[in-house]
Structure 1
């Protein structure tokens, strides 16, 4: 029996689904551009049937493939943790702080400089710890390999 009310778990699942949907749209955009260049007709209007149908089919197939293949991976959660440690944390927490300090050159005596520096440093440490932990978990999970194990 869960320790939380069912409505709370339902809301958590809904918000997780919405967040993952938005993120997948963002990360699949380069794939969508490549597919649209390959299957669309540049001489036709962007919203013509000739261009909309291939776009709908190619985007649907890319989402299906991008969902099915990771679900088959036995270490999907661990791999996502590794990608988060090396991809999301630096892009979201480290680089913006460093770029702000480099671009605007706040005084070393200002609070904004030190807040940015502390955020970048702590995020770097968390990124390294997350990477080590996810690789460790992959090694531990290697003995229990099976397809669709996370489903």
Structure 2
């Protein structure tokens, strides 16, 4: 898989990737119905298109030429010093192959003026918490953003 910038033609495949990954990861935490609600809203085509068009952001996909195995989306703060990683998901069948690491590395390189990379993760998603810890992320003193789910923790890494 190679990492590249996403385009409008990728959005349907990204939507399907997000739905599959969310169900694999969060059905046991939130329940199938809640995951269906979240993916219908957060991963809708208009929502994905808005991310694709947002200034000071990077929307990436991991592509093998036939299908997408992962995606990541991050955006810089107004001053450009903090980057928030909003999404980094790899299809379950492709996890453990370095795709998540490649996406994360590309996000880090996409914002050369940034001083820190921040994200929120569900505390019960131990695979993700462990993934980020192995890549230098530490718990932050910051609180989760308003509207975040209960049980979310903030992690950050100095760049």
Q: TM-score, normalised to structure 2's length?
A: 0.27
Larger helix percent: 1
Give the TM-score of the pair, scaled to structure 1. Answer: 0.28
Q: Which has the higher strand share?
A: 2
